[in-house]
A and B are shown apart, each in its own frame.
Chain A
Amino acid sequence: DIQLTQSPSFLSASVGDRVTITCRASQGISSYLAWYQQKPGKAPKLLIYAASTLQSGVPSRFSGSGSGTEFTLTISSLQPEDFATYYCQQLNSYPPTFGQGTKVEIK
């Protein structure tokens, strides 16, 4: 199975901050990577697919980049509604594994 490692696991930031989350794959996955946002008690929400394509309706302050084994999710200016847990997922091969999550909290 392909392992995904997210860093950091926990992030404390202020409104307006630029935030970057990294996802590293144990082997190359081309651009078959998605990012999800999950708020407490809610289902995950797709933010980005194909490493850098913004899902319809997602604010443009979210962006993704990378290919191969290293990927990043960037929030250009953190908003109050962005405090949540973020997961990456690889869809290059089965099983489509998830990262362990990055919790973004208010500083």
Chain B
Amino acid sequence: QVTLRESGPALVKPTQTLTLTCTFSGFSLSTSGMCVSWIRQPPGKALEWLALIDWDDDKYYSTSLKTRLTISKDTSKNQVVLTMTNMDPVDTATYYCARKGVVRDAFDIWGQGTMVTVSS
């Protein structure tokens, strides 16, 4: 069974750096074609794609946020980490990680999401 779970702080202060961890099971990120992505959703708003890392350690970022984002993986721990610098109240959102598998060109399995509030 494939599962993903996001973890990280529920509250961060403006200007701080957010670090989120996606811990997954049921697949290996060293399998050719496998990817893990981060997506966020501000309250009441649409989904926004943030970043993706693939099995070959290639990394892709949102055009508007790429200067603030870093994605990395620890294959031995089955984890993907996202850092976002210089947090602002507009970054308040639920942050999801999701798998993009080998067979389906889509995000087929999602974590439950973690809500992050940016406030002083």
**In the complex, residue of chain A having the shortest beta-carbon distance to the beta carbon of B65:** A95
Query: Are A43 and B106 closer than 8 Å at their CB atoms?
Result: no
Chain A residue at smallest Cβ distance from B51: A95
Instruction: Give the residues in chain B near A96, CB-CB below 8 Å.
Output: 37, 49, 52
Q: How many A-B residue pairs have CB under 8 A?
A: 63
Known: A94-B52, A100-B46. A34 touches B62 (CB 8 A): no
Interface residues on A, range: 20 to 34
Category for how many chain B residues contact A: 20 to 34
B48 at the interface (CB under 8 A from A): yes
B48's closest neighbor in chain A, by CB? A98
Stretch at the interface among B18-26, B84-92, B107-115: B107-115
Report which residue of A34, A43, A98 has the largest number of chain B beta carbons within 10 angstroms of its beta carbon: A43
Inside 8 A of A69's CB, which chain B residues have their CB?
none
